Structure 1
């Protein structure tokens, strides 16, 4: 079963790993930041070793994004993401796991201060 783990964040300035640029993460004690970083490395190693990690990527600054909407019979390009968004799509991981429960357990390990993690099934 394939799922995508979507990371939503809004670091200032935009950078990766996003947690390093979030006030909520920066305000944590050093030991807690180190524990969270080690947990991220651990889940990545675990998924790779189990053959569950299909791929993934960090995404560039949303200020550089272009939106394309269909208007009056053609594609119209506009700057940037939805301006009212407090969080932006920061990156993703495509995973292939045995069950939804496993996908949820992995996705929960990506959550951190100042970020939202969304788990979505891949259709098809």
Structure 2
């Protein structure tokens, strides 16, 4: 089963050195997951200051700069993994560096037949 591990934290909590260390540790985790067939994807996100929120209400598109809501923790990145069950996904989530400073939400992915395949795969 696929799981999306959503990484939340205070985007201002890390120094640039800590951020680079977090990226390096996350890249090693991605390599480890790839070597055992669990890695499907991962990326950090730009800060919420670069976000744009889109809503459609009564047929009208509403576009707002910034995130939908002000929160103490912001979505900062994700890992998409393959895991045999929730316990295995939780074990991977606990290895994500930001789990020590923020929160990692583990969500099973609903796979809908007929969606286009990942374009990066042969």
Instruction: Provide the TM-score with structure 1 as the length reference.
Output: 0.73
Deviation string, structure 1 residues 77-105 (Cα, Å, up to 9, x no partner)? 01101342111110001001222211111
Q: What do you get for the CA RMSD once the two structures are aligned?
A: 2.8
Whether 1:122 and 2:113 are equivalent positions in the alignment is no
Deviation string, structure 1 residues 33-73 (Cα, Å, up to 9, x no partner)? x8x88865553332111010001111111111110111231
Whether 1:51 and 2:37 are equivalent positions in the alignment is yes
**Which residue of structure 1 aligns with residue 119 of structure 2?**
none
Structure 1, unaligned stretches of length 5 or more? 22-33
SS of residue matched to 1:104: helix
**Which residue of structure 2 aligns with residue 11 of structure 1?**
11
Equivalent residues, number: 108
Question: Is the 1:57–1:93 Cα contact (8 Å) retained in structure 2?
Answer: yes
Q: Is the deviation greater in 95-104 or in 41-50?
A: 41-50
Q: Is the deviation greater in 89-98 or in 78-87?
A: 78-87
Structure 2, unaligned stretches of length 5 or more? 112-122
Distance in 2 separating the partners of 1:102 and 1:41: 19
